[in-house]
Chains A and B, each alone.
Chain A
Amino acid sequence: MSTLTELSLADARDGLRAKKFSARELAEAHIAAVTRIKPLNAFITETPDAALEGAAEADRRLAKGEARAMEGLPIAIKDLFCTEGVLTTAGSHILDGFKPPYESTVTANLWKAGAVMLGKTNMDEFAMGSSNMTSYHGPVESPWRRRGDNRPLVPGGSSGGSAAAVAARAALGATGTDTGGSIRQPAAFSGIVGMKPTYGRCSRWGIVAFASSLDQAGPMTRTVRDAAIMLGAMAGHDPKDSTSVDRPVPDYEKALTGNVRGLKIGIPKEYRVDGMNPEIDRLWEQGIAWLKAAGVETVAISLPHTKYALPAYYIVAPAEASSNLARYDGVRYGLRVPGGTLDEMYEKTRAAGFGKEVRRRVMIGTYVLSAGYYDAYYNKARQIRTLIARDFAEAYRKCDVILTPTSPNTAFAVGEKMDDPIAMYLNDVFTVPGNLAGLPGISVPAGLGGDGLPLGLQVLGRAFDEETVLRVAEVLERAADFKHKP
C-alpha cells in the first residue's frame, strides 16, 4: 500500500473517515517507509509498536464515529521533544540513554488529537546547526540529489530528520522546533512546508531547551493545509510554560479561504543581500507576481536592522544555551565520565558529551554573560532585539504579511561549510529576524533551482495572526503548484 504514503495528511484523514483504508494499513505503510529510508539516517529511534498501538485505538474510534482531529495519522517527532519512556537524545551524546518520565505538552496534545508516533527524528545536536551534520547520531541525508550529481546533500537543520522523513514520504508530518530557522530552512531545502508559529503559541514544556526566548515548536508537512491541521493540534495554552499564551486556538484550516484579495504584502528591501543566488531573487519576484495575480497589493517596506539580526542572535542564543545546558552535569541523567572530584567529573562529562558546535556556543554564551562583558554583549543584543521588533511593528502598519525568500541558497553537500561556522550561520539570515521578534513564519516550496533542488518562499505575519500567514501561504502554494519529488 505504498500509495498511502503519497497522501497528504488531510487526504489521509479524510480517507480514514470515509473508511477507504484503516489506520492500521496507514500505519503499516508508513512503518515500511521508515524502514525503507533507513539509509537517510532520518530517525534516531523508531517506534513501530507505538504506531500500531495508536492505530488500533484509532480504528476503534473511527469505527464508533469518534475520530479526533488527527485520528490515526502517523507522524514523526523531533528528538528534542520529551516522550515518556522513549529515548530522547536531542542529537547529543550527553543525553545517552535518557528516557523521560514525562511527555512534552506538544506531543501530549498530538496524541490527544489521535496522532500516531512513528519515531524520533535526528537533528543537529541541541538544535544547533543548519545542516544536521552536528548530530552525535550522524548526519541525515536529504532524499534529494542535485541534477546529474549523486553526492549526498544535507536536509538542512536543525530539524533535518523531520524534514527528510516528510519529504521522503515516510511520515505524513513531523514536529520541528525553530530557534533561528530550524523548521523553515530544512523545509525549504527539502521541498516541504514548515511553520514556526508565534512565540507563545505552542508550549515549550518538555522540549529540551536551547534558547528559551526564541525556541518555538511547529509543524513540518507536505502541504499548507496539513500544517494548519497539525498546528491546531499542537497549539494551546499550557500553565506549565509561563510564556505560553492564554488565547483561544482558531480553526486554522478554516482560515484557508483562498481569498487574499485586498491584503497588503510587504517586500523588505533589506532582504536583497549581497551574493544571494540570482535564482532565489527571481523566485521571489515570481512569488510577488503570483500573489499580485491573486489580488494582493504589494508594499515596499524597510526593516533597517535586518543586518544586525544574525549577530544579535549569535549573542542571545548562545547566552541562553550556556545557561540551559548547565543542567548536563553527569548527575541527574545521561552520560557521566568519572572524575576524582565533582568539578573534574563535570568537566570530563561535558567535554565528552558535547560536540564541537555545542561547545563553541556554550563557551561564547559563557563569555558574553561573564562579569564585565554582560552589558557590552548581552544587553546590547537585547537592545538590538527591541529595534528589530520595532522595525516589524512599523512595517505591519503598512502591510499584513511580509514575503521573503526562506534561505539564501539551496541545499549543500554533506561535509560542506563545516570549517567556517559563520558561513553556516548565514543560512538563517532570512529566518532569524522572525525569531528575534517572536513572529509567525512559514516556508512554502515554490520552485526548483538550476541545480534541481527545492527553493522556498517565506511568509511572515503579525504576532498571533497565523491565520493570515496560512491563507497567503496556501495561495502561494496553489500558484507554485510544486509537484516535484525527491
Chain B
Amino acid sequence: MALDRDTVRNIATLARIRVEDNELDALAGELSNILTFVEQLNEVDTKGVEPMTSVVAMQLPRRPDEVTDGNIQNKILANAPEGTRGFFAVPKVVE
C-alpha cells in the first residue's frame, strides 16, 4: 500500500501529531515501506482462524465492584504541567 500525502496528513490528525507539510513526502515513503512489509501476511490463508485475543489461556479475573482507592487528588495532579484549584488546566474549549 502506497500512502499519499493526504492520507498521511489524515493519519497525523487522527494521531494528534503535528506533521509539517515538508515532512509529508518522506513520511509517506517510510510508512508505505512498512505497510508493504507487513502485507506479506496476505500470502497466508487465514480463513476460519480465530484472531488471538489472549496469549495465555485464562479467564479474566473479576472482583467486587467497589471503590478501592481515592482521595489522592494531590498525587494525581502532582505531575500536571498546568493545574489549578484541584483541576487539570487546558486551553479554553467552550467559547
Q: How far is it, in angstroms, between the C-alpha of A49 and the C-alpha of B24 when the chains are bound?
A: 47
Whether B79 pairs with A98 at a CB distance below 8 angstroms is yes
Whether A382 pairs with B52 at a CB distance below 8 angstroms is yes
Report A302-319 CB contacts with B as 1/0, cut-off 8 Å: 000101101110110000
Tell whether A350 pairs with B58 under 8 Å between CB atoms, given A330-B81, A333-B79.
Answer: no
Is B53 engaged at the interface, CB distance under 8 Å to the other chain? yes
Q: How far is the CB of B63 from chain A (nearest CB, A)?
A: 7
Q: How far is the CB of A45 from chain B (nearest CB, A)?
A: 16
In the complex, 21 of the A-B residue pairs with CB atoms within 8 angstroms, ordered by the A residue number, are: A101-B75, A102-B75, A200-B56, A310-B37, A315-B41, A330-B81, A332-B88, A342-B91, A342-B93, A344-B18, A346-B16, A347-B18, A348-B18, A350-B16, A351-B19, A363-B12, A366-B11, A367-B31, A381-B38, A384-B41, A421-B34
Chain B residues closer than 8 Å to A379, beta-carbon distance: 51
Q: How far is the CB of B55 from chain A (nearest CB, A)?
A: 3
Most B-side CB within 10 Å, residue of A199, A367, A421: A367
Chain A residues closer than 8 Å to B2, beta-carbon distance: none
Q: How far is it, in angstroms, between the C-alpha of A347 and the C-alpha of B13 when the chains are bound?
A: 8
Known A363-B31, A384-B41; further 9 A-B contacts with Cβ < 8 A: A199-B56, A239-B61, A343-B16, A359-B17, A366-B15, A368-B38, A370-B14, A425-B37, A436-B55
Report A175-201 CB contacts with B as 1/0, cut-off 8 Å: 000000000000000000000001110
Chain B residues closer than 8 Å to A315, beta-carbon distance: 38, 41
Closest to A240 in B: B68
Chain A residues proximal to chain B, CB less than 8 Å: 97-102, 198-200, 213-214, 239, 242-243, 245-246, 305, 307-308, 310-312, 314-315, 322, 326, 329-336, 338-348, 350-351, 354, 359-360, 362-364, 366-368, 370, 377, 379-387, 389, 421-422, 425, 436-438, 463
Is B21 engaged at the interface, CB distance under 8 Å to the other chain? no
Chain A residues closer than 8 Å to B44, beta-carbon distance: 305, 308, 384, 387
Q: How far is it, in angstroms, between the C-alpha of A348 and the C-alpha of B79 when the chains are bound?
A: 19
Tell whether A311 pairs with B37 under 8 Å between CB atoms, given A345-B91, A387-B49.
Answer: yes
Selected from B33, B34, B46, B81, the residue in CB contact (under 8 A) with A383 is B46
Q: How far is it, in angstroms, between the C-alpha of A340 and the C-alpha of B80 when the chains are bound?
A: 18
Q: How far is it, in angstroms, between the C-alpha of A346 and the C-alpha of B49 when the chains are bound?
A: 39
Chain B residues closer than 8 Å to A100, beta-carbon distance: 79
Whether B17 pairs with A347 at a CB distance below 8 angstroms is yes
Bin the interface of chain B by size: 35 or more
Whether A350 pairs with B17 at a CB distance below 8 angstroms is yes
Chain B residues closer than 8 Å to A314, beta-carbon distance: 34, 37-38
Interface residues of B in 35-80 (CB under 8 A from A): 35, 37-44, 46, 49-56, 58, 60-61, 63, 72, 75-76, 78-80
Chain A residues closer than 8 Å to B38, beta-carbon distance: 311-312, 314-315, 368, 377, 381
Selected from B34, B41, B56, B90, the residue in CB contact (under 8 A) with A360 is B34
